[in-house]
Structure 1
Amino acid sequence: MEFPLFRLFSVFAVLGALLFAPLSANASDLDPENTLYMDLKDGRVVIRLLPDIAPKHVARIKELTREGFYNGIVFHRVIDGFMAQTGDPTGTGMGGSNKPDLKAEFSDKSFARGVIGMARAADPNSANSQFFFVFKEASWLDGQYTIWGEVVEGMEYIDAIERGEPPANPDKIIKMQVAADAG
């Protein structure tokens, strides 16, 4: 039996649409209360929050964002091919907010490119305000760090962040806001 070529292309088109639909999310399709805007020197990063898998971490990130905590904070640890970390007001990687640490909220979600995880010390229940974006798949982190969000637009601006531990001239978060609060 001959399988028409156009049917084969149709099958691949449908599979491709199903597989890649989440990556092409448009900011206008997102819930404004669970979307962050992070402005960097090169442009705006749009982040989808994941309250269904990490409700306490999402609540903390939104609380700190609404307080203006992240505005002006540098990316203090940026490892090429791995991740970019921020959220420490001291810029040293040793600081956090004045709020209590959070208990881990591990999930089955994997650290794919653009996924955001909570940074912590050796204790899994020590996350506070620091977080990191992975530049590419990092599945060895799965189940060890709480995932609370993912980039849906502007990953190229994360890719452009100055590398280093610490970077010689670190990039910073110019402004971060919950989309529902943006004017």
Structure 2
Amino acid sequence: MIRTLLLAAAAAALLAAPAQAQRGQPAPAPAGPSAQDWRAVDPDNVMVIDTNKGRIFVEMYPSVAPAHVERVKTLTRRGFYDGRSFFRVIDVFMAQTGDPLDTGAGGSDLADMEAEFTFRRAAGDPFTAVADSGAAQTGFIGALPVMTQNPMLMAMMFDGKVAGWSLYCPGVAGMARGSAENSANSQFFLMRQAYPSLEKRYTAWGRVIAGLEVVRAIKTGEPVAPPQDVMTRARMLSDLPEAERPQIRVVDTAGPWFTAQVAQMRAEDGADFSACNLKIPSEVK
């Protein structure tokens, strides 16, 4: 009951934020997250990537791209990604890896996958809206930024759902492919900066929840000149021995602290408000 009241109050603050921005009144900065603002991660949906530059944690989203999540999990558990280089890294764009040839031309022995550029959102699916244009809503599924059609259209759809797609904000993990839409196999990339032109053209399957600074420290080049930075080892968090398994928590995008941050950013940025600029703190112990 207390959590329900807090969420209702936070939602009211979010709806009031545009009016504050119009009046030129900045929203108060939220204090640090409290205990109720954090959520635990599912260890079976977190990829732990050890690199020569540091460790990266990528949270996966099966509800958005189930086949691609399953593929990355399968290859991770095979040890396929161990030792793979970041062979194509563009400073204001992304870092690409996952090719056994380390050239961009290779893949696994598994079949190429059908694209999952979009997904279907039902009324009861976890989703936190941060902006509404009338035709579409921008929001979050966990830490993943997404956009969907307006939920009012659900009643008109054959399956009661609306179309959604991931936003390519910093930290988003996408699947690389060739010129054919259904050609993704093993290669993936981690976004260093926002790049909206990838939306609905490449499958997004996760987001870096800790270690974005590592992604941005990877040596750049197209291709990267030797020596290249590498993924020394990739594992699923759930597969790490209990004694070695980090404890991770992430700010809940459905919680009051995040809603207060949204209100502040909307008031400060006005028409320039972007979901890609919102911070989602995490802690790794």
More strand by share: 2
Q: How far, CA to CA, are the matches of 1:44 and 1:135 in structure 2? A: 15
Q: Secondary structure at the match of 1:52?
A: coil
| Equivalent residue for 1:170, pick from 228, 231, 248 | 228
SS in 2 for 1:66: helix
Structure-1 residue corresponding to 2:66: 55
Identify which of 87, 93, 99 aligns with 1:76.
87
The answer as to whether partners of 2:48 and 2:235 remain within 8 angstroms in 1 is: yes
Select the residue among 238, 244, 252 that pairs with 1:180.
238
The answer to whether structure 1 residue 13 and structure 2 residue 24 are counterparts is no
Are the structure 2 counterparts of residues 110 and 9 from structure 1 closer, same or farther at C-alpha, using a change threshold of 3 Å? closer
| Alignment partners' CA distance in 1, 2:184 and 2:27 | 47
How far apart are the structure 2 equivalents of 1:57 and 1:135? 20
Q: Does 2:190 match 1:130?
A: no
Residue-by-residue CA offset, 1:105-137 (whole Å, 9 max, x unaligned):
012110000001000001110000000111111
CA distance in 2, matches of 1:61, 1:93: 17
> After superposition, where does 1:66-145 map in structure 2 within 5 Å?
66-107=77-118, 108-145=165-202
Deviation at 1:159, TM superposition (A): 0.6
Larger radius of gyration: 2
Q: How far apart, CA to CA, are the structure 1 residues paired with 2:56 and 2:110? A: 26
Offset at 1:59? 0.2
Counterpart contact for 2:174–2:202, Cα < 8 Å: yes
Query: Shift in Å at residue 37 of structure 1?
Result: 0.3
Aligned partner of 1:158 in structure 2 is 215
Q: Is residue 91–residue 216 contact of structure 2 (8 Å, CA) maintained in 1?
A: no
Which ranges of 4 or more aligned residues in structure 1 deviate by more than 2 Å?
none
SS at match of 1:173: strand
**What's the Cα RMSD here?**
2.2
SS of structure 1 residue aligned to 2:190: strand
Which secondary structure does the structure 2 equivalent of 1:174 belong to? strand
Q: Which consecutive residues of structure 1, in runs of 5 or more, have no partner in the other structure?
A: 1-7
Task: Output the amino acid matched with 1:144.
Answer: R
1:13 CA drift (Å): 2.3
Output the TM-score relative to the length of structure 1: 0.86
Separation (CA, whole Å) in 1 of partners of 2:80 and 2:43 = 19
> Match for 1:32 among 28, 37, 43?
43
**Equivalents in 2 of 1:124, 1:49: separation in Å?**
21
Q: Which residue of 33, 42, 56 corresponds with 1:45?
A: 56
- CA distance in 1 between counterparts of 2:71 and 2:79 reads 12
State TM-score, norm by structure 2.
0.56
